[in-house]
């Protein structure tokens, strides 16, 4: 690339009068390999196709719509002739006219402004020297520009011969180097899913070319709906102009400009647009005026965030390790207490019937009663602390007349009574415990 240190003001776009007139339409193709670049559509993608300019009709209407409109037009004039000759069918004449006006919308030209050839050349000039800005935004609260310093116009070479009178701009194609991937990743990590914004800047002002029409055969701007169109429409003859648009009007070229935004200036790209023998040419890149402080802060904030995440993970890992260590120590202590308890546990005695089982154990210097009451659905279990062990106390069973039994366990001088009734029985342990239960057969 020549003169790589040129800025916006030094771009030398020039008009070259070519002696030889090329009458062939030559669509543009990319002059560099775009495989390693990303295209910005609604998102960032590598699965893209470069949009070359294409030829189309300035206006085109479906054949069926034309037939329908012609039918109403002929019907209207036949009724008009009938009204003149006979004075009849006035109602149908008026009805068909208004229906014809409504149906005629199907072949009515698209309302739009046609800019002049001079406007087209001015806009091409602005396009070639324009800068492209890419930014990410989150709910309009946080915005950051991509630090692509160098802007290359990669539209390529286009030849528009003299038989092409109309030109239209399609959507701008934006290509970005691979740095956009990390840039978006860093932004989304810090602020959440972002929206992609794209814009063209020329002389520090935003401008757009999308969907603008130009008439290269005219030196003045005009509106697509002319007096002729209005008269034909009023007479229900708009189909005549529609046939002209479909089969006799000049073709239109749709141009899809392309910009490449890069952090490096090692790209060679050149655009040359031949308009009826006049060439607008650009060989230089544009140096963006965007402030890179935002992106630098974003990078630093992302690195700080990574550092904080790493420190947090290490802290969590250390806390987890300590927690596991604490749990292991607690487990070992619990097992130790359990082993010690088992080593200091002695079964003193047991009393059992068809309805319950009560076992007395000495654990260290305390006596405990472990009661299991048999039930059909679920057994009932109780642990009752009887107090300090008494070595002199011996097991003794005293049968009483009637429905009660008095029992003294080994190791604790405490009176235990088992009292039977018709549907229930009661277990009383001194003044510590007293509960009634249904018999197993009745539960």
Position 284 in a domain: yes
What per-residue confidence (pLDDT) applies to 414?
Answer: 94
On the question of pLDDT at 9 being above 50, the answer is no
Taking the C-alpha atoms of residue 288 and residue 188, their distance in angstroms, rounded to an integer, is 24
Higher local confidence (pLDDT), 62 or 443? 62
pLDDT at 283 over 80: no
Domain shared by 157 and 298, yes or no: yes
How many domains in the chain? 2
Considering only residues 21 and 209, tell me which one the structure prediction assigns the higher pLDDT: 209
Q: Per the domain annotation, does 69 fall within a domain?
A: no
What is the pLDDT of the chain when averaged over all its residues? 85
| Pair 50, 174 in one domain | yes
CB 150 within 8 A of CB 287: yes
What are residue 110's phi and psi, to 5 degrees? -65, 125
Question: Do 396 and 273 share a structural domain?
Answer: no
Which of 245, 269, 303 terminates a domain? The answer is 303
- Are 134 and 258 members of one domain? yes
Residues 31, 154, single domain; the answer is yes
Query: Does residue 84 sit within a domain?
Result: no
Give the chain's length. 443
Residue 158 and residue 16 share a domain: yes
> Is residue 206 in some structural domain?
yes
Structure tokens at 24: 């062939």
Comparing 173-187, 218-232, 290-304, 306-320, the range with the smallest average pLDDT is 290-304
Q: What is the pLDDT of residue 369?
A: 95
Closest alpha carbon to 286 in 307, 253, 258, 261: 261
Where residue 12 falls among pLDDT bands split at 50, 70, 90? very low
- The reply to whether 273 and 152 lie within a common domain is yes
Is residue 183 within 8 A of residue 262, CB to CB? The reply is no
- Tell me how far apart the alpha carbons of residues 16 and 136 are, in angstroms, rounded to a whole number: 40
pLDDT at 288 over 70: yes
> Would 180 be classed as within a structural domain?
yes
Same domain, yes or no, for 225 and 353?
no
- Tell whether the model's pLDDT for residue 19 goes beyond 60: no
Same domain, 282 and 362: no
In a domain, 354, yes or no: yes
Domain match, 244 and 393 both: no
Predicted pLDDT at 22 = 57
State the average pLDDT over residues 237-248: 86
Angle, helix 227-234 to helix 238-247, in steps of 10 degrees: 120
Q: Is 220 domain-assigned? A: yes
pLDDT tens sequence across 378-432: 999 999 999 999 999 999 998 776 788 999 999 999 999 999 998 899 999 999 9
pLDDT at 11: 38
What pLDDT does 82 receive?
A: 87
High-pLDDT (> 70) share of the chain, %: 94
pLDDT band at 294 (very low <50, low <70, confident <90, very high): confident
Give 176-223 pLDDT, tens digit per residue: 998 888 888 888 888 888 888 888 888 888 888 888 899 988 888 888
188 occurs within a structural domain: yes
Question: Are 352 and 261 found together in one domain?
Answer: no
The residue among 246, 274, 303 that closes a domain is 303
Same domain assignment for residues 297 and 355: no
Give the domain extent around 350.
345-442
């Amino acid at each position: 690339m020549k003169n790589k240190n040129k800025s916006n003001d030094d771009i030398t776009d020039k008009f070259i009068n070519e002696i030889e007139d090329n009458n062939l339409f030559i669509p543009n193709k990319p002059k560099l390999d775009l495989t390693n670049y990303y295209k910005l559509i609604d998102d960032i993608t590598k699965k893209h196709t470069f949009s070359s300019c294409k030829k189309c009709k300035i206006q085109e209407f479906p054949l069926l719509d034309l037939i329908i409109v012609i039918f109403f037009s002929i019907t209207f004039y036949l009724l008009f002739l009938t009204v003149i000759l006979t004075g009849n069918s006035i109602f149908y004449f008026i009805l068909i006219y208004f229906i014809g006006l409504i149906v005629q919308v199907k072949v009515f030209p698209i309302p739009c402004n046609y800019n002049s050839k001079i406007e087209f050349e001015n806009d091409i000039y602005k396009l070639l020297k324009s800068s492209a800005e890419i930014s990410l935004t989150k709910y309009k609260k946080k915005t950051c520009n991509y630090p692509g310093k160098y802007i290359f116009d990669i539209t390529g070479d286009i030849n528009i011969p003299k038989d092409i009178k109309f030109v239209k701009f399609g959507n701008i194609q934006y290509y970005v180097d691979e740095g956009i991937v990390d840039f978006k990743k860093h932004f989304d990590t810090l602020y959440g899913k972002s929206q992609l914004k794209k814009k063209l800047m020329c002389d520090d002002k935003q401008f757009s070319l999308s969907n603008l029409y130009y008439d290269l055969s005219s030196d003045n701007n005009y509106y697509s709906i002319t007096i002729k169109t209005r008269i034909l429409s009023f007479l229900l003859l708009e189909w005549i102009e529609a046939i002209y648009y479909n089969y006799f009007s000049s073709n239109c070229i749709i141009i899809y400009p392309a910009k490449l935004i890069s952090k490096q200036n090692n790209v060679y790209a050149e655009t040359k647009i031949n308009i009826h023998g006049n060439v607008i040419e650009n060989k230089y890149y544009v140096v963006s005026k965007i402030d890179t402080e935002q992106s630098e802060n974003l990078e630093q904030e992302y690195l700080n965030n990574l550092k904080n995440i790493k420190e947090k993970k290490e802290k969590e890992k250390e806390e987890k390790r300590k927690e596991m260590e604490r749990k292991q120590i607690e487990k070992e202590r619990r097992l130790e207490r359990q082993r010690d308890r088992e080593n200091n546990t002695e079964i003193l005695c047991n009393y059992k019937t068809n309805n319950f089982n009560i076992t007395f154990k000495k654990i260290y210097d305390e006596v405990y009663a472990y009661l299991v009451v048999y039930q059909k659905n679920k057994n009932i279990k109780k642990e009752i602390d009887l107090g300090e062990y008494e070595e002199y106390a011996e097991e003794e069973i005293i049968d009483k007349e009637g429905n009660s039994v008095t029992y003294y366990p080994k190791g604790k001088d405490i009176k235990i009574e088992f009292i039977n009734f018709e549907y229930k029985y009661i277990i009383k342990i001194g003044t510590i415990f007293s509960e009634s239960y249904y018999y197993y057969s009745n539960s």
